[in-house]
Amino acid sequence: MPFITFIYRIGTNKKFFYGKYVCDDISDDHEGLDIEILPTVIDGINEYRKQKGLTKLLNKNFSLGILSFSTTNYIPIDSSDNEIECFDFYHKSYIYKQNETYVNGKLLKK
């Protein structure tokens, strides 16, 4: 499975958060991996905030930087689900299964 690891910041807070985006496939037809995954990160964070009774954040409050991109063209690169709790944000995007988003190691219920 291809995956993207990234860092992101929210608003003027100087703290970086760590994320991982795991999927079945990533198209090469995009304007940048950061632009490609940012809406998923924003939606996930806002769903988390909604469940905690916090206000929704606007798109302009987020900045995201790609740390790495890995593909499965030549070698298996799967990780176990044990790594989920190591990330502030973790998203699994599947074609034939329901997507899963985790914030602080906890699965978001929709």
Q: How does pLDDT run across 55-76, given as a tens digit for each residue?
A: 999 888 899 999 988 876 655 6
d(CA 56, CA 27): 29
More confident residue, 95 or 25: 95
Tens of pLDDT, residue by residue over 4-42, are 999 999 988 899 999 999 887 776 666 888 888 999 999
d(CA 82, CA 73): 24
Beta strand spans in 24-99 (E): 62-70, 89-93
Q: Which residue's entry shows tokens 């499975």? A: 1
Model pTM? 0.86
Q: Mention every residue, 6+ apart, whose C-beta is less than 8 A from residue 54.
A: none
- Structural domain harbouring 38: 3-107
Count structural domains, the chain: 1
